[in-house]
Amino acid sequence: MGNIISTNNTPTTNEQDSVYNEKQAHFDDLADSQRLLQNLKLRTSTAEASETVKIDSCKSWENALLEDPKNRLAVDAFSKSDITNTLSSRSARIADHNIFNLVASNVEDITSQDSSGRCWLFATTNLLRNDIKKQLNLSDFQLSQSYLSFWDRIEKSNQYLEHSIELADEPIGSRTVDYINSGPIGDGGQFDMAVNLVNKYGVVPQSVYPESYNSSNSGKINSLLTTKLREGALELRKLSKSASQVSPTSADRIVRRRKNELLEEIYGAAVIAFGPPPSANEEFTFEYKDKNDKVHSITTTPLGFANKYLSNFRINDWYSLINDPRNEYSKLYTVDKLQNVVGGRPVLYVNTTADRLVDAVVTHLKNGKPVFFGCDVGKFSERNGGLLDPKLFDYELAFNLKLGLTKAERLATGESSMTHAMAINAAHIVDGKVQRFRIENSWGKSAGQDGYYICTVDWFKEFVYQVVVNRQIAPKDLTTIFDKPEDAHVLPCYDP
């Protein structure tokens, strides 16, 4: 996650094969085949069976289209206005009230990731800061997202160079090598990767390591570091092959010595771009004023701060549930080479139904716990109104296009993927049924309704793929599956 930045005018509306047979099972299902054949029988088009585009056919189609006055009106309307602004449903906007009767937390200090893809770190720190605010009696407080992002960038650089050594004998042009080379240190990440960073480096308040221009606008520095890393990867591949002529121990020492020299260069460039960060065990002083205007001062280290003020949150007790209908439910999954910290906690998911994700969120909210979740935020999304609702835009009425892909089919064809992470902190429930959720986003107060978004439960089931749950609260039949990470099914690195 993390390819959606907060300063886009409009989040994008668009954003493989697997080694497991179950990933493609839905295409082979008899019911799907019968559905397709039935649709073909119902069509009444007189189109020719032709390999090429026929000019006469196009003109005929156009004439038939414009016989309908509705289509002529649509041509005039869409020729001078944005599609989504024109189609935005008044009835949907009225129905999606900003009213919630189950509230886990209220946040006024909405965060902004600016022109960066750090949503997963903002979603994580937005959860973590709630306990800290209570303990320190603070009204406004943010943890430094830039601090975690700095170390994530260094860890990803090391991981990428390690992958380059590991894959030295695999040809450039292979799907795995090409995928690894496509984005060595992008801003995106997963909740488990955030856990790795907190465990290794701790956390600091934002005032201790504030945002810099390049942390908020990461595109150019990421591009520069990526270029250097790719150059280093090619060098390590060649060095690995030439060093194979000596003993394995000597070869390993030669290659990794050069890797660390490259890492030193990357670290130096990062320090220049973002500023020197505190080390995990380096003391800092945090001065603050509480709600009663009383001034306090805390001297500690990043790890010390995390150990003291995040002890109630227990970050290692949180795990990811996903809804991926391509794959078998109640099974553990991981993704090949999806990691930031070498030797860190693996990225793991337990697959379950969308209904169980909804239930898990509600259970956490009832326990006063906001929830980290991952979704495809650009689908049926209205930025200005902060609405996520599949009823927002009637594309069939406007364009005569019936969109019928299932959630599994959208994933399999690349039509949808997990692009953004946010936090759910409230729900509205009527007669025992969830109607909508309130979302704390990280695109600043100018996006949505003072920084908040509202998603209907129907949108949640179609476009939410992940929720992070606490082991003590989530269903035991799901959380116990995490106890055997060695049994995880490994999806390819290019899996969406």
pLDDT tens profile 68-110: 999 999 999 999 999 998 999 888 988 888 999 999 998 889 9
Quick check: helix, strand or coil at residue 285? strand
Q: Could you tell me which residues are beta bridge partners of residue 283?
A: none
Q: What pLDDT digit, counting tens, does each position of 422-442 carry?
A: 999 999 999 999 999 999 999
Q: What pLDDT digit, counting tens, does each position of 37-73 carry?
A: 666 555 656 667 888 999 999 999 999 999 999 999 9
- The residue ranges of DSSP E strands in 174-254, in sequence order, are none
Buried b (16+ CB within 10 A) or exposed e, 82-113: eebeebbbeebbeebebebeeebbebeebbbb
- The pLDDT, as a whole number, for residue 94 is 85
> 88: which 2 tokens?
């935005």
What amino acid is encoded at 240 in this protein?
S
pTM above 0.75, yes or no: yes
Kindly indicate the confidence band of residue 332, based on its pLDDT and cuts at 50, 70 and 90.
very high
- 408 alpha carbon, distance to own chain's centre: 18
Mean pLDDT of 268-277: 98
CATH 3.40.50.1820 is held by the domain 138-306: no
- The pLDDT, as a whole number, for residue 20 is 34
- The pLDDT, as a whole number, for residue 6 is 63
What amino acid is encoded at 253 in this protein?
R
Smallest CA-to-CA distance from 389 within 398, 397, 380 is with 380
Report whether 327 contacts 335 (CB < 8 A). no
- Give 100's Cβ-side CA count (13 Å radius): 22
Tokens 């909210």 sit on residue: 365
Residue 34 to residue 202: CA distance in whole angstroms: 55
- The pLDDT, as a whole number, for residue 248 is 75
- The pLDDT, as a whole number, for residue 40 is 58
> 383: which 2 tokens?
């930025």
Instruction: Flag whether pLDDT at 289 surpasses 80.
Output: yes
Kindly indicate the confidence band of residue 17, based on its pLDDT and cuts at 50, 70 and 90.
very low
Candidate list 130, 323, 441, 470, residue with the active-site label: 441
- The pLDDT, as a whole number, for residue 14 is 38
Q: What pLDDT digit, counting tens, does each position of 318-327 carry?
A: 999 999 999 9
Instruction: Flag whether pLDDT at 490 surpasses 70.
Output: yes
Q: Where in the chain is the domain with CATH 3.90.70.10?
A: 84-112+315-491, 138-306
Q: What pLDDT digit, counting tens, does each position of 292-312 carry?
A: 999 999 999 999 999 999 999
Instruction: Flag whether pLDDT at 16 surpasses 80.
Output: no
Mean pLDDT of 258-279: 98
- The pLDDT, as a whole number, for residue 1 is 75
Tokens 């082979």 sit on residue: 28
Candidate list 323, 420, 428, 470, residue with the active-site label: 420
Residues with Cβ within 8 Å of 64's Cβ and at least 6 positions away in sequence, in order, are none
- The pLDDT, as a whole number, for residue 496 is 85
Mean pLDDT score of the chain: 91
CATH 3.90.70.10 is held by the domain 84-112+315-491: yes
Is 119 in the active site?
yes
Q: How far are the Cα atoms of 8, 33, 66, 417 from residue 495, in angstroms, in the given order?
A: 26, 24, 42, 9
Q: What pLDDT digit, counting tens, does each position of 141-191 carry?
A: 999 999 999 999 999 999 999 999 999 999 999 999 999 999 999 999 999
- The pLDDT, as a whole number, for residue 280 is 98
User: Assign residue 275 a region: left if phi > 0, alpha if psi is -120 to 50, beta otherwise?
Assistant: left
Is 420 in the active site?
yes
- Give 358's Cβ-side CA count (13 Å radius): 21
